[in-house]
Structures are given as C-alpha cells and as structure tokens.
Amino acid sequence: MSTVTVTSRIGLSSPEESKAVLKVSDLVVEYHTARGIAQAVNGVTFTVHAGEKLAIVGESGCGKTATLLAALRLLPSPPSKTVRGSVEVDGTDLMTLGPKALNEIRGRDISIVFQDALSAFNPVLTVGRQISEGVRQQRKLSKAAAHELAVDMLARVGVPDPDQRAKQYPHQLSGGMRQRAMIAMALAGEPKVLFADEPTTALDVTVQAQILDLVRSFKDLAIVWVSHDLGVVAGLADRVIVMYSGFVVEEGPVEDIFHSPKHPYTAALLRSIPRTDEMSGTHELVSIPGSPPDLVALPAGCPFYDRCAVRVDRCATDRPTLERVGDTQTVACWVAQAKDIAS
C-alpha cells in the first residue's frame, strides 16, 4: 500500500471562491431488511466545488458507497430507499427529476467509476461501444463518430493502441487497462463531477499509482473519491469527510485531518495505518476495539460511544451534531467541541 506522505499544498485555491458544482443535503438512506430498517446513510451533507477533490473515508459498511449510489439514484429499491435529501448538480436537484431528465444528467454532468472494472463492464459488448454509448444516445452520434469518441477517450486515459482496444471486449484487457477504460467511459460525457468508488482497491500497487496519477491530472474535474485507504486519500484529496455508521463525523482539509484529527474515530483510523516512515519498531499498528453499531438499532447517543476511549456521560444519550472546531474542521463529537471552547 502507498505511504502516507502529507505534503502541504501551497497555492491551493480556496474552495469558497470557486463555484459549487455538487451540493448533497441531508441525505438519508434506509435498507429494508428481514431484521428491520437499517439506517445506512443518516443526514449526509457536503458540497463540492469545481475542480475540488473530496475524499469520503470510513470502514466498510459506513455508508460511503451508499451515499454515492443514492446520490446518483442507482441504489436498487427495494431493498433500499432514499428517504430524504437533495442532490444538486449545478443547481438541479436529481432527487426530484423524472427518469428522462435524470438520464440527461447522469453520464453527462455527473458520472461514476466503480471498484471492479471487470464486473462493471458488460461482457458481451465491446469496450469502445460501452465508452461511447451514453454520449451516443444523448448527442445522437453516428456509429463512426461514436467509435472515434471512444478511441479519443481511451487515448486520453493513456491506453496504448486505442483503436484496437476499442474494438476488444472487456475480458481481453488487463486489469489496469480495464480500469483506465472505465475512467474513459465515465469521462466520455465530459462531466463536471466524477464519483469514484474505490477504483484502485482491486489493482496492484504500481498500477494503482498510475491510475492515481491519471486522476490527479484532471485538474478541472470535481471528484468525490470513496476509499477506506487513507494512504490513497492523502495523496489525492483536497478535503476529507470521515464517515462512521452512516454519519459524517468529521470534515476538513486533508492536511488538518491528518495532522490534527479532532474526532476520536478519525484519530484511531490514522493510528491504524501502517507507516513506512516509522521503521524503528516502536510504532505498533493499533486496531480499533469493538465493532460499529447495528444499523437496524442505532444507539440514541453517539454511534461511536461503545468504542470510544474519551467518551463522557453525555455521549450515551445525546447524539452529537456537526459543529465547527478550530478554523477549518467540523466535528460531531461532544468532547472535541468542549475542548475547543475551553482552549
């Protein structure tokens, strides 16, 4: 896995100055299971500006992928149900659109890259066709123009011999090539926002680095990158959202999150990454004891209460809300917020 090297970003444009291209507000997603209603996403709110790279991190089951899929209205219903919330892309709320208007925006203004490129490609259609078919439908392209677009997109993501590759089927490409092809597919409609659902997790380290370099090169593209790998996030994101059992527990610029995590969960998460810059052997890998709460029966108080080392009485009964702590971070933790007031 890649190392955590937090470089300071000098000359980073302030997000407030640029235009917000994606506004997710109070998103609530439930899963109807045999045991009851699982609350997978609980009031997630975030904004992404043009060209900004936002990372959503958290362990599996924390609702990070569900947030992306629900925002694109891709979650299968049943069993899932998006109960509340709005997802505005350039001012248009996807949640209220009819199917036709929704399809005008999906793939064009906002698109998504999945984790497993092999299963995300249809096995019986050529790669080129799948890259261009969304745009072909929206812009009524001819077959030749669609092929040209696919070849052009493959070339842009660094696939060698793009004309041949476009005519091939997904199973004929290598893993890294397939992942590039999927990125080409997501970018074919020239979106403003790209969702990425752990697209490098299934790749080996060198290919992973190549893909990250590629994604970093898209300067103007707003990206929401979901990952459990903080190492990847450190080298890619401007801003980080930490999720825990469906809640946003901390948000802030990547440097601040890594240097001074405010939420005990964020801090524990950072302690659990293997670090190559501490080879002395004194640094032990710390795992977080316990397990996340049952989403079917969320506790009344803080969802992290059971596993928290710094909890106070109030945490058991009152669920903390996201409040600004320090200059740049927002945190949902009573203890961190109390410390901030005291200092």
Partner 1 sequence: MGILIFALRRFLLAIPTLLGLLIVTFILANFMPGDPLARLLGDVGGSNPETVAAYRAQWGLDRPLWEQFFIYVGNLLQGDLGQSTFTRRGVMEDLLSFLPATVELGVAAILFAGIIGLALGSLAALFHNKWPDFLVRAIALLASGVPVFWLGLIALQVFYLQLGWSPGPEGRLSSRVNPPPRITGAYTVDSILSADSVAFWDSLAHIVLPAAVLGAFFLGLVSRMMRASMLDVLKAPYLMTARSKGLNTRTIAQFHVLPNALIPTITVVGLAIGGLLAGAVLTETVFSWPGIGRYAVDAAKALDYQAILGVTLLIGFVYVITNAIIDVVYAALDPRIRLGS
Instruction: List residues binding partner 1 (CB under 8 A).
Output: 69, 72, 74, 76, 99-100, 102-108, 111-112, 114, 116, 119-125, 130, 133-134, 137-138, 169, 171-172, 182, 185-186, 189
Cα separation, 159 vs 74, whole angstroms:
28
Cβ of residue 186: shortest distance to partner 1, in angstroms? 8
Residue (108 or 263) nearer to partner 1, CB: 108
Please state, in angstroms and rounded to a whole number, the distance separating the CA atoms of residues 329 and 250. Answer: 7
Minimum Å gap between C-beta 134 and partner 1 is: 3
Least separation in angstroms between CB 183 and partner 1: 12
Residue 138, number of CB atoms within 10 A of its CB: 16
In angstroms, give the least distance from the CB of 20 to partner 1. 22
Q: Would you say 41 or 254 has its CB closer to partner 1?
A: 41
User: CB-based contacts of 201: which residues, under 8 Å, 6+ apart?
Assistant: 115, 227, 228, 229
When the beta carbons of 225 and 258 are compared against partner 1, the nearer one is: 225
CB within 8 A of 127, min separation 6: which ones? 121, 150, 154, 165, 166, 167, 168, 169, 170, 173, 178, 181
Contact 2, 231 (CB under 8 A): yes
How long a stretch of residues is the chain?
343
Q: Which amino acid is at 95?
A: M
Residue 289 burial (CB < 10 Å; 0-12/13-18/19+)? Answer: exposed
Smaller CB separation from partner 1, 169 or 218: 169
Q: Which is nearer to partner 1, 106 or 262 (CB)?
A: 106
Q: Whole-angstrom Cα distance, residue 273 to residue 280? A: 15
Contact 222, 193 (CB under 8 A): yes
Roughly what angle, to the nearest 10 degrees, separates helices 127-139 and 143-156? Answer: 120
Task: Kindly state the smallest distance separating residue 122's Cβ from partner 1, in Å.
Answer: 4
Nearer CB in complex with partner 1: 124/285: 124
Residue 74 or 310: the one with the smaller Cβ distance to partner 1 is 74
Helix or strand run (H / E) with residue 154:
helix 143-156
Q: Which is nearer to partner 1, 121 or 334 (CB)?
A: 121
- In which element (H, E) is residue 331 found? strand 329-331
CB of 342 to partner 1, least distance (A): 47
CB of 70 vs partner 1, minimal distance in Å: 12
Instruction: Tell me which residue has tokens 């291209």.
Output: 21
User: Which CB atom, from 124 or from 342, has the smaller least distance to partner 1?
Assistant: 124
Nearest distance, CB of residue 50 and partner 1, angstroms: 21
- In the bound complex, what is the minimum distance in angstroms from residue 77's beta carbon to partner 1? 12
- Token pair listed for 36: 């009851």
